[in-house]
Amino acid sequence: MAIKMKKLLAAMLALIMVATFVLTGCSSNDLENQESNNGDGPLKIVLLVNGNLGDKSFFDSANEGLKQIKEKFEAETKVIEIGPDQMKWESALADISEESWDIIICGTWQMREYLEKIAPEHPEKKYILFDAAVDYEKGDFKNVYSINYKQNEGSFLAGALAAKVTSSDMALVNEEKIIGFVGGADTPVINDFLVGYIRGAQYVDSEVKVAISYIADFFDTAKGKEMALAQYNQKADIVFPVASQAGLGALDAAKSEQGYAIGVDSDQSMLFKDLDEEKANLILSSVLKRVDNSLVRAIELETQGKLQWGTAESLGLKEESVVLAKNELYDKNVPEDFKALIEELSQKIISGEIEVESALGMETETLNDIRNSVKP
């Protein structure tokens, strides 16, 4: 009798559990999402790299941000490298969106189209897009936070530094006032770097000319080197490559031609300090899009319930999301009066006294006029 009663109670308990499950409408996926998003456990954050780490540039900066997020917020994090094959990018984003991550981070304008397609299909997920913005007027992207960078502000400082160099009597400088710019592609973001660079140089010396080349690829280091070599041969004293991994080739050209360079996205002189001291000393500074700072800032706002999902922000010098790198090699190789000028210009930009022109939204005719006005 006791055994029968126990069996009856067990059966009744099982029926109650099933009924509860059905009435609440929960599936196993719902429970998984509920568990990962109810605030009881650590945030689960994944960084999708549409390339590879080790670029000593943009992706490495994003990865550094994820490391800081893991430590500061005790988040569960993962980096997925999907390589340079663009045919794999959309499927990789779609696959990772099916997993139980709270926040999915990806970046560059090349991922925008895929995110615009996939994010609305997963309204329960949150996405951070850096260095680009989805078109909020053309879709339902209330689960996407976009980060743009005021790269023109950092490049203004780089242009000012380059103009001071080419107008100086530094050891590797020739008599011509020419500086160089090697872009990864002729796109609005790259041209925003360019316009800031030109305006910064003109602010210091209106006679400075700018040699401009586009690689049309962000991974071809050989072509990056070839284009930088051509600019050094044009008498450019200093070259500013804005081309992600392809820009490493331009830094190789700086070493082979004994010319100065300005790095980008990561503090490239310090990255090469222990690997190639000669090259490191030729990289006078780097324009840093502090992807790491911007991602840490975003997650901090999210933990405070203050991150504005469904919007885009533009971050610059004021938010320490764009800076000109200052390190021991900068202190060693850049003259004191140059450094004083850079600090002065930085404060004027932060205060709004200097408003740096942007290529974003600029008419092609206007951009061409600017490029042509500084042609050597």
List the CATH number of the domain containing 360: 3.40.50.2300
Q: 194 and 270 share a domain?
A: yes
Q: Which tokens hold the place of 255?
A: 């070493």
Q: For residue 209, give the DSSP letter.
A: E
Output the furthest CA–CA distance in the chain (Å, rounded): 106
pLDDT in tens, 76-133: 999 999 999 999 999 999 999 999 999 999 998 899 999 999 999 999 999 999 999 9
**Could you tell me if residue 5 is inside a domain?**
no
Domain termination site, one of 118, 149, 180: 149
Please report the pLDDT score of residue 4 as a whole number. Answer: 42
**Could you tell me if residue 122 is inside a domain?**
yes
Q: 132 and 235 share a domain?
A: no
Q: What are phi and psi of 62, to 5 degrees?
A: -65, -40
Q: 145 and 278 share a domain?
A: no
Reported as a pLDDT band with limits 50, 70 and 90, residue 54 is: confident
Which residues, including other chains, have CB under 8 Å from residue 142's CB and lie 6 or more apart? 123, 309, 310
Answer yes or no: is pLDDT of 25 > 60: no
**Could you tell me if residue 368 is inside a domain?**
yes
- The strands making up 260-264's β-sheet, listed across from edge to edge, are 209-214, 178-183, 238-242, 260-264, 283-289, 322-324
Reported as a pLDDT band with limits 50, 70 and 90, residue 7 is: very low
> Which residues constitute the domain of residue 351?
151-289+322-373
Answer yes or no: is pLDDT of 2 > 60: no
Q: 143 and 155 share a domain?
A: no
Contact 271, 247 (CB under 8 A): no
Burial (Cβ within 10 Å: 0-12, 13-18, ≥19) of residue 80: middle
CA 297 centroid distance within chain: 14
**Could you tell me if residue 227 is inside a domain?**
yes
Domain termination site, one of 149, 175, 206: 149
CA 234 centroid distance within chain: 30
CA 230 centroid distance within chain: 27
Question: Cα–Cα–Cα angle for 349, 239, 188, nearest 5°?
Answer: 60
**Could you tell me if residue 332 is inside a domain?**
yes
CA distances from 213 to 88, 181, 186, 226 (A): 29, 6, 9, 10
Average pLDDT, stretch 149-154? 97
Distance, CA of 60 to CA of 45 (rounded, Å): 17
**Could you tell me if residue 135 is inside a domain?**
yes
Q: 263 and 247 share a domain?
A: yes
- pTM to 2 decimals? 0.79
More confident residue, 199 or 10: 199
Please report the pLDDT score of residue 41 as a whole number. Answer: 85
Domain termination site, one of 105, 133, 149: 149
Q: What percent of the chain has pLDDT over 90?
A: 83
Contact 350, 321 (CB under 8 A): no
Contact 295, 130 (CB under 8 A): yes
Please report the pLDDT score of residue 39 as a whole number. Answer: 54
Q: Which amino acid is at 108?
A: T
Q: 357 and 226 share a domain?
A: yes
Reported as a pLDDT band with limits 50, 70 and 90, residue 56 is: low
Contact 310, 141 (CB under 8 A): yes
Q: For residue 98, give the DSSP letter.
A: T
Task: State how many domains the chain has.
Answer: 2
Q: 120 and 263 share a domain?
A: no
Q: Which tokens hold the place of 84?
A: 């340079």
Q: 98 and 224 share a domain?
A: no
Please report the pLDDT score of residue 355 as a whole number. Answer: 97
Reported as a pLDDT band with limits 50, 70 and 90, residue 55 is: confident
Average pLDDT, stretch 311-323? 96
**Could you tell me if residue 263 is inside a domain?**
yes
Q: Which tokens hold the place of 311?
A: 């919007």
Reported as a pLDDT band with limits 50, 70 and 90, residue 34 is: very low
Burial 245-273 (b: 16+ CB within 10 A, else e): bbbbbbbbbbbebebbbbbbbbbbbbbbb
3-class secondary structure per residue, 353-371: CCCCCCCCCCCHHHHHHHH
Q: 194 and 210 share a domain?
A: yes
Q: 105 and 247 share a domain?
A: no
**Could you tell me if residue 234 is inside a domain?**
yes
Q: 97 and 182 share a domain?
A: no
Average pLDDT, stretch 283-299? 95
Q: 214 and 134 share a domain?
A: no
